Amino acid sequence: MPEATLPRLDVESTAGPLHLPDDLLGQWLVLYVYPRDNTPGCTTEGLAFARLAPEFASLGARILGVSRDGLKSHANFRAKFDFPFDLISDRDEGLCQAFGVIKPKKLYGKEYLGVDRSTFLIDPQGSVRAEWRGVKVQGHAEAVLAALKELC
C-alpha cells in the first residue's frame, strides 16, 4: 500500500463532505472498498457489515463503504438495504488510488481497470493496522471484527 495512514483528501459521502483524515480521527475505522452498488457481492458484503455494525460500534469503530459510484446511487443503495453506515463516493478515484485498489481486471475477454475489493482497519490516529485485499465476501466482515477485537 502506498501509504500507511489515511490520505489527505476531501471526499463526498452520504453524510456530507468529509475531510480526511481529520474528520475520521479519534475512532477506529473500517474502510471497505467495493466495486459497485447494487451488485450481488457488494450487497452481501454491505449486509454483513450492517448486521455486525452494533458490535463494531461497541468497540468504538465506524464503518464506511467506498466505491466509485455517485452519491445518488449510494443514497439509494444505502436506503434500499437500510445500511447503518455511510458510503463515500470516490468518483475521481483519489481514495482508491491512495490505497492502491485500482487493478487490471478481465471480463468476457476484455481488460479494464476495476476496484479490487479490499478492507482497511484504521486506528484512531489514522494508521492502517490491518488490510485485506482481493476479499472474498463470505466470512469477511466477521474476520474484520475479529481483528478489531484483537487490536482493541
Point out the residues that are catalytic. 42
Contact 9, 98 (CB under 8 A): yes
**What DSSP assignment string belongs to 38-94?**
TSHHHHHHHHHHHHHHHHHHHTTEEEEEEESS-HHHHHHHHHHHT-SSEEEE-TT-H
Cβ neighbourhood burial of 119 (10 Å; 0-12, 13-18, 19+): buried
b/e code 4-21 from CB counts within 10 Å (16+ = b):
eebeebebbbbeeebebb
**What nine digits make up the cell of 92?**
475521481
